[in-house]
Amino acid sequence: MRPMRPAALLLLAIVSVNAGAQAPAAVQTPEAAFGFRMGADRELADWPSLQRYFENVAAASDRVELVDAGQTTEGRRLIAAIVSSPDNIARLDQIRANSLRLADPRTLDDQAAAGIIEKQPAIVAIGMSIHATEIGGTQAAPELLHLLATSNEPEITRSLNATVVIIFPSLNPDGHAITVDWYRKWKGTEFEGANLPGLYHKYAGHDINRDAFMMNLAESRSIADFFYRRWHPQVFLTMHQMGPRGPRFFVPPNTDPIDRNYDPLIWRTAGLLGNAMALTLEQDGRAGVLQNALYDYYWPGYEDSAPLGHNTVTLLTEAASVRVASPITVPADQLTGGRGFPDHQPTTTFPNPWPGGSWKLRDIVDYDLSAARGLIGAAARYRDDLVRNFYRMAKRQVDLGMKGGPFAFIIPPDQFDAHAARKLEQLLIDGDVELRRTLEPFRVAETVYNEGADIILMAQPNRAYVKTLLEVQQYPARKSGSQADRPYDVTGWTLPLQMNVRVDRIDQYFEPPPATRIDRATIAPAKVWGDVRKPSFYVIDGRGNGASIAINRLLKNGAAVSFLTTAMPILGYTYQPGAIMVMDGKGVREIVDAIARDLGLRATASSGRAPTDARPLGRARVGLYRSAAENVDEGWTRWLLEQYEFEFETIADTDIKRGGLRPRFDAIILPDQEAERIMTGNLAGTMPPEYVGGIGADGADALKQFVAAGGTLVALDSASELANSLLGAAVSDATRGLPPDQYLCPGSIVRLDLETDPLTYGMPRETAGFCAFSNAFDIAARSDSTAASTVRMVARYAKSNVLASGWLDGERAIAGKGAVAEVTSGQGRAILFAFRPQHRAQSHATFRLLFNAIHTSK
């Protein structure tokens, strides 16, 4: 657990020879190491030099050890400095092991726990930034490290005796590198401090901190492993930045609503530590600090909310931003309020308004350092409570789990979508949830389960995490004035619904059958049936998202692949429409074997004549549109297509404007983005000229030509408005112009009814989709008589009881309306999605709608 680079080891060796044991080599100040004071105007420390600084301090100081939390998406190291007193550093392995023991009270009695608690420092992790342009925390990190590594002030000595501080200089080193490169490139020009044209993470951009439970990204998996299996901190602070015109700084407590699954001690401790941070900030004379407003912790997918279900107290700070490293001026009359924070007048949660004026990166560094010092000091003073309550919360969760309601969740082995079921199980396992695979059949009330069903018994320390992810959300909507109080993020995420995985909630106690804990989710291999000696074709189960991988693998190999369009019984098993038919040929047998084995899709070999009720599938040439204006949905779409083995090309505004698209592409995908933004892109003057402008009128024309000439234009959520207008407004949006009291769906799971159609193959007739202020289609009663298009609704919102999880006001606005429309025009078509079928690469239940749009485009 102590990876140290050879260079660092060497340096340590030299130190001990030259300086002896009593005097550690001098730890360089950040100013000496970087050549400027951290946070100096227009200066940024880049990632290689930050990493080097952390390595050097670790090598020179007996208070610091450097560890790797894992890899980033682009292969950088997620480094963390472990800082504590030399005595604690000498027994880090024991401290770490004790933290893991306290995290699981099932293996301890109270007396043994008390023995540990007495000597156990509180583990406090600090992520100095995750959103890469919110760069102040990362720039402050060397000063925080230097202070803790060198200061002999009594307060610091006391703190290091009582805590282990884990400093992540950044939770997104890839994004830090992108941001620093961009800033330096334009420094000294009129575009100094301009927004990035793309994402500050290869796939997720700003959503890098919306992946904490789904764990699609390497960073999320690394951090989860580090937190839940290696260190299990009692406290985790993550530092962010917000807009420039609000308060100068935010510290906890956060605002309502809260997720009611977590122990109340979580919120009390967050309040205590938030107040300690605020106190230090005031002592240091930092004005404009706000508490108890703006940010809630309802959604569990942030880096700083997923650990709540693991009994870690998480804290968020937000500093007012500058233009990356360039100073700004905010006159008093331009200061604005926000959610639960009407204006800049003094209140109990905002006693010291900032008067306006100049605001610099160094200010952010100063505020961040005050907050971190306030937190570390308080964690030391309340060490005993933090460590004891960590154990106490875990114990309470286990006790609650024993009582039932729910007592367990059961994931049966026979799933519609084995691929999605595996992903759900794996993300639970990566989230340190205990899954047990049953070894024999068993019964709960009237239900008989086959052996191989996986049980999650709720008497486990991370019970709240399981409950939050698997149960249905009922968002505690409150009104403030006439306005409904909207959440900061989304209101519904129920994973069994979103992923179309059957998970049974069992409320009452039952006697669990023999079972073993599993540490890796797998798909049960399926068989290839029938006469495999000399087949003429194979039929493969086409259900679920794995079937799209199967299709892509077969097509890539040059095989002749079709969807069956009618049900087909072979050897006592009936394949449904949408099953995959592939003619035998070179290498096909091996691929079919691998599909059955790895994707769990049964197949049957047949030597008869191939059925003619089939729709041939081709190797579609796909263009994925990437706007010059930042679009997180593009990043997630790109990630998803890569994961499911689609071949595609990224296309920019210039590619579209140039026209001649049909000879190059069968399908063009427009990720969710406002029509206006697609058309105009970044505005002139805001960005260097090469990043200005959208597809424009020429591009719109080119897309129209593309459809007329037989292409498939796939438009997701708000991009559907652009596609629709190109095709003469074939559909109308029933939600257009409705006020919030008539339609409000701020990120919820809704029920969808599907037609039987190639676009819904591999899906059940009813499923769940993610709706966030999404559209609802009607067939337009058009006056535009020139439009020669026809519309088919392929998916609709349910006729009633639309809401499956979260919050939906005014379901009448969308009930029974179109959610996916296929509009044919000329020789081609557009597939309009009223919602995002691939939202954050989380909504597995609707991935196939997007995948089928591609499969059927050739």
Q: Which stretch binds Zn ion (CB under 5 A): 212-220, 233-241, 304-312, 537-545?
A: 233-241
CB of 206 to Zn ion, least distance (A): 7
Handedness of CA 553, 559, 564, 570 (dihedral sign): negative
Cα distance between residue 468 and residue 482, in whole Å: 29
For Zn ion, the closer CB: 306 or 539:
306
For Zn ion, the closer CB: 183 or 200:
200
Cα distance between residue 614 and residue 562, in whole Å: 6
Site for Zn ion in 112-131 (CB under 5 A): 131
For Zn ion, the closer CB: 239 or 675:
239
CA angle 233, 234, 238 (to 5 degrees): 70
For Zn ion, the closer CB: 131 or 383:
131
Cα Rg, the chain, nearest whole Å: 28
Residue with tokens 């058309």: 679
CB of 431 to Zn ion, least distance (A): 22
Q: Which stretch binds Zn ion (CB under 5 A): 109-117, 236-244, 449-457, 509-517?
A: 236-244
For Zn ion, the closer CB: 131 or 844:
131
CB of 134 to Zn ion, least distance (A): 5
Q: Is 201 a binder of Zn ion (CB under 5 A)?
A: no
Cα distance between residue 494 and residue 458, in whole Å: 17
3-state helix, strand, coil in the chain (%, to 5): 35, 20, 40
Number of residues that bind Zn ion (CB under 5 A): 3
CB of 589 to Zn ion, least distance (A): 51
CB of 294 to Zn ion, least distance (A): 12
Site for Zn ion in 128-167 (CB under 5 A): 131, 134
Max CA pair span of the chain: 90
For Zn ion, the closer CB: 304 or 541:
304
Binding mask 74-113 for Zn ion (x = CB under 5 A): ----------------------------------------
Q: Is 210 a binder of Zn ion (CB under 5 A)?
A: no
For Zn ion, the closer CB: 211 or 717:
211
CB of 720 to Zn ion, least distance (A): 29
For Zn ion, the closer CB: 176 or 240:
240
Strands 667-670 and 712-715, how do they pair? parallel
For Zn ion, the closer CB: 250 or 625:
250
Phi, psi torsion values for 374, nearest 5 degrees = -60, -40
Binding mask 651-680 for Zn ion (x = CB under 5 A): ------------------------------
Q: Which stretch binds Zn ion (CB under 5 A): 39-47, 239-247, 264-272, 473-481?
A: 239-247
CB of 483 to Zn ion, least distance (A): 24
Phi, psi torsion values for 633, nearest 5 degrees = -65, -30
Classified as helix, coil or strand, 660 is coil
Both tokens assigned to 7? 């260079």
Both tokens assigned to 596? 């059955």
Nearest to 311 by CA among 351, 355, 265: 265
CB of 318 to Zn ion, least distance (A): 7
CB of 316 to Zn ion, least distance (A): 9
Q: Which stretch binds Zn ion (CB under 5 A): 31-39, 44-52, 235-243, 715-723?
A: 235-243
Both tokens assigned to 613? 């009720």
CB of 131 to Zn ion, least distance (A): 4
For Zn ion, the closer CB: 130 or 850:
130
Strands 249-250 and 289-290, how do they pair? parallel
Both tokens assigned to 6? 């050879």
Minimal CB distance residue for Zn ion: 240
For Zn ion, the closer CB: 104 or 318:
318
Give the C-alpha distances (Å, rounded to integers) separating 608 from 516, 696, 818. Answer: 44, 54, 41
Both tokens assigned to 397? 């969760």
Classified as helix, coil or strand, 729 is coil
How would you label 319-335 residue by residue, b for 16+ Cβ within 10 Å and e otherwise? bbbbbbbeebebeeeeb
CB of 240 to Zn ion, least distance (A): 3
Q: Is 240 a binder of Zn ion (CB under 5 A)?
A: yes
Residue with tokens 């950044």: 170
Binding site for Zn ion (CB under 5 A): 131, 134, 240
